[in-house]
Structures are given as structure tokens and as C-alpha cells.
Amino acid sequence: MGTSIPVLIVKRVGLGLLLLLAVSILIFAGTQILPGDVAQSILGQSATPQALANLRAELGLNDPAWLRYLHWLGGILTGDLGTALTSRQDIASSLWPRLKNTLFLAFWAAAISVPLAIALGLIAVRYRNGFVDKAISAFALASTSFPEFFVGYLLVFFFAVKWQFFPGISTVYDGMPFLARMQAIALPATALTLVVLAHMMRMTRAAILNVMQSAYIETAELKGLRPIEIIRRHAFPNAVAPIVNVVMLNLAYLVVGVVVIEVIFVYPGMGQYLVDHVAKRDVPVVQAVGLIFAAVYIGMNIIADIVAIVANPRLRHPK
């Protein structure tokens, strides 16, 4: 007898929350073992021993690590991400506009890459082993072969420096006109699209080809249905679960993996904010951004698993 969908969803969400708790422990422990002294990096090398001692007491650095973790976790659960050590500003209020910028960039990259990847995957299956399929596969292989920073610099060189179609620095701000904002994110959104497009396209092609080996596809072919109709009406709907899983993983990457792209284009998002404060050794900011990235990635995986559970009855029944 199979397990009900709500039970499986509750189990998956609970597992995700446990995983997020474990990640929070790793993030906190990782920031604590970093070399150097936080108080020294804030006050500088000329600080007196008394000033360093006072700042350590103020920041709670003299407390045991487990107690500092519990204080930090308790603040997270109540919506308090802490205070930045360098600017003395509330981290949550500073992160919100950065998070909106990152989500805006990720949304438009996803709006372009997801439909395009699925369409190219369907076309590759329709003309499999032909010239079109090989050309699309070659493009995908070339796209995944280049690291994202190289793609970003190529786009800057050609479209910003040589041809001057778009700005090389993606400056956005509140109240910016929509068209101006879209022009500002054109290059980083294109770079992110090229990074994730090939993977989604290849997995879409592989998932549909796997379904095409099924017996009911042969029956549809014997009925005389056109290949494109067989793919659209029979193969694609039954390949949705693995395709959604791949899409969700890549959507999570669009949010979590923007660090390099944001640094290249000086885009005021979460990634740029993280890099700036890593250089300053601002531990509370690094912890908060790292936990948000982890929550987004785990959340996207949970959504993908829920979609797979609903779409695939075999996951609800023991083998």
C-alpha cells in the first residue's frame, strides 16, 4: 500500500528543515575557525589591548561557541539577522534591497533560460541524431565548457566595450525606470542564462528520450501520430518530473550561484554584498548571507521533490 502524498510532503519538508539546521551549524562553525581576530580587524592594528577586550566583550566573543550559536540561531528564528560589525547597521534591513536585486536578476534569467531550454530540448528530440540535434548538442557542450567568469568577461568585451550596446557595470537603484533596469541587467542575465541553459536543455532531451523508449510511445507511432504530436502529447507530460527537478536545481543556482556574475558586473545583489563583507571579515553578514543561500537552495530542492511526488505515482509506493 502506498504512502499518502501529505505524509511524504511532511517528511520531505521535515528532512529539509533538519538539513538547514545542520547547514547552519556548519556555517557558524566555519566562520568561527577562520584565522584572525574579529575585534582586531575592526579596530585595526593600532588598537589598545583594553579597547580590544572591551569590543570582544561587547560582541560576545568571550562566550563559549555553543552559547554564541544558540544566541545567533535564536535571533534567526525571530527574524533578527544581527548587526554588521563594520557598518553597525541592521543586517536584515541592509540585505532586503540586495535580495530584491538578486531575485530580479535571477527571475529574468530564468524567464529566458527555462522556456528556451525546454524548447531546444524538444527540438533536439524531434530531430534526434540529425544535424539540428547535433548542432544544439554542440552548442550546449561549448556553453558548459566555459566558466561563468569567462562568459561574463566575453560579454563585457564585445557588448559593452567594443560595440557599446549595454553598460559594462550593472548599476540599479530604487525607483529606476523599468526599461533602464532591464538594460542594466542585460549582460549579467545573459551570462546566467548561458550558464544554466545547456544543462537544462541536455537533461530535458535525455528525459524525453528515456520516455520515448516506452511501449505506449510505440503504440502512438503505430496509430500514425506525427512525431511532434507524440512528443508533445505523450512523451513530454510523462517526463515532467525529472525536467522539473533539473529546472528547480538550476533556479536555485541562479540565486545561489550569482556571486561571480555579480562581482564581474558590480551588480548590487547578495553575491556582491557577501564578497564585500568577506573581505572585511564581517562574520555576522557572512553567516546571514550563507544561511539565506542555503535556505533558497534547500527550498528549491524541496519544491522539486514535492512536484516529483505528485507527478510520479511510483514514488508513493514501495518497491
The 3-state secondary structure of the chain, one letter per residue: CCCCHHHHHHHHHHHHHHHHHHHHHHHHHHHHCCCCCHHHHHHCCCCCHHHHHHHHHHHCCCCCHHHHHHHHHHHHHCCCCCECCCCCCEHHHHHHHHHHHHHHHHHHHHHHHHHHHHHHHHHHHHCCCCHHHHHHHHHHHHHHHCCHHHHHHHHHHHHHHHCCCCCCCCCCCCCCCHHHHHHHCHHHHHHHHHHHHHHHHHHHHHHHHHHCCCHHHHHHHHCCCCHHHHHHHHHHHHCHHHHHHHHHHHHHHHHHCCHHHHHHCCCCCHHHHHHHHHHCCCHHHHHHHHHHHHHHHHHHHHHHHHHHHHHCHHHHCCC
Q: State the pLDDT at residue 288.
A: 92
- Matching CATH number, 91-284, of 1.10.3720.10, 3.30.1370.160, 1.10.274.10, 3.40.50.620: 1.10.3720.10
Q: State the pLDDT at residue 20.
A: 93
Q: State the pLDDT at residue 44.
A: 67
Q: State the pLDDT at residue 108.
A: 93
Q: State the pLDDT at residue 282.
A: 83
Instruction: Please tell me the pTM assigned to this model.
Output: 0.84
Q: State the pLDDT at residue 182.
A: 93
One digit per residue, pLDDT tens: the chain, 319 residues? Answer: 556 778 888 888 999 999 999 999 999 988 877 766 667 667 667 777 887 788 777 777 777 888 889 988 998 888 888 888 777 788 888 889 999 999 999 999 999 999 999 889 888 888 888 898 889 888 888 877 888 888 899 999 999 999 989 998 898 988 889 999 999 999 999 999 988 888 888 888 888 888 887 777 777 777 777 877 877 777 777 777 778 888 888 888 888 878 889 999 999 999 889 888 887 778 888 899 999 999 988 998 888 888 777 766 665 555 5
Q: State the pLDDT at residue 180.
A: 92
Domain boundaries, given as residue ranges, for the chain? 91-284
